[in-house]
Amino acid sequence: MKNNIKYYRHEVNSHNHGKFKALRAKYGWAGEGQFWALNNMIGEADGCELDLKKGYNRLSIATDLGMSPEQFDEYIQYLADSCHLITLTDGVISTEMTQSCLEEATKERDRAAKKWDRKKVSAEKSKTSAENSENPRSLPGNFHNNYNYNNNDNKDNNNNEENNHNEAAASVVNKGQDLSFIDPEMLPVYTEWLKYKKSCRQSYKNQQSLEQNYQKLKEFSKGDPELAKIIINESISQGWAGLFPLRNQNGNQNRRTNEINRSLAGPKDYGQF
């Protein structure tokens, strides 16, 4: 990209400055107009510098200003030595105003480039996040390692069912949370609780609170998935925000708890009559 400027400041009272009065003293108003045309050429040049050592540059600029090469050389020397309106170093000319504007423009371009880079990085992160949310293999932590995600079409139905549970769980955890601590047999049950919490626009804000809640469920249910399911259904049906042990009355289990125990125990064997 060309390193130049598209505009520069021109103060309304610049013609009253001694430098321009000195210029007009020899070249009149035409000489001042020629200076501003020259300043435009300098601002458009790369680095806001014109190399007059290149013969075609010198002749082209002199022609544009309506001067002969000799008149142009004299004019340039007068601008540098008597008016101090340009700098002349080893045949290269520039002006303080174009260099000052170039410095400001460079800073602004750098700021714009950095802002663009930040937007690009942010867009790439958003894209990656969206892709991860659709792909359970991209879950943070070791979740997908512990539950063996894969696309192998030769996996049996049990593995397919497990993958379905894993995908369901993945859709209800917060970003950055790891579910590898959950026992595989409890995962489908606990997922139902997380779905319920999400439907209520509630969630466990950090890893510690999530693990503590699961440990409560495991304690209340003694690690039994069937009992855990009953506990979860109780909280959901009551609209509770937390999980609680099944209630006891007078030190004995209530009728519902007895029914649960009977259902878990199965039919009794009364022998032969």
Examine the pLDDT at 131 and tell me if it is beyond 50: yes
pLDDT at 246: 85
pLDDT at 47: 93
Buried b (16+ CB within 10 A) or exposed e, 20-36: bebbbeebeeebbebbe
Q: Which amino acid is at 45?
A: A
pLDDT tens-place string over residues 164-183: 556 666 677 677 788 889 99
> CB count, 10 Å around CB of 192?
17
**Total residues found in the chain within this entry:** 273
CB within 8 Å of 87: residues ≥ 6 apart: 80, 93, 94, 95, 96
Q: What is the average pLDDT across 96-112? A: 90
| Cα–Cα distance measured from residue 11 to residue 8, given in angstroms and rounded to the nearest whole number | 10
Numbers of helices and strands, H then E, in the chain: 10, 5
**How distant, in Å, are the alpha carbons of 65, 88, 121, 129 from that of 19?**
20, 16, 50, 62
Q: What is the average pLDDT across 111-132? A: 81
pTM as predicted: 0.44
Query: Mean pLDDT of all residues in the chain?
Result: 81
Asked if 62 and 68 count as a contact pair (C-beta separation under 8 A), the reply is: yes
CB within 8 Å of 230: residues ≥ 6 apart: 246, 260
Q: Which residues pair with 88 in a beta bridge?
A: 93
Examine the pLDDT at 136 and tell me if it is beyond 80: no
pLDDT at 113: 86
pLDDT tens-place string over residues 137-166: 544 444 444 444 455 555 555 555 556 556
Examine the pLDDT at 229 and tell me if it is beyond 90: yes
Examine the pLDDT at 273 and tell me if it is beyond 50: no
pLDDT tens-place string over residues 57-70: 899 999 999 999 99
pLDDT tens-place string over residues 180-206: 899 999 999 999 999 998 889 888 888
Burial of 252 (0-12, 13-18, 19+ CB in 10 A): exposed
| Percentage of residues of the chain with pLDDT beyond 90 | 48
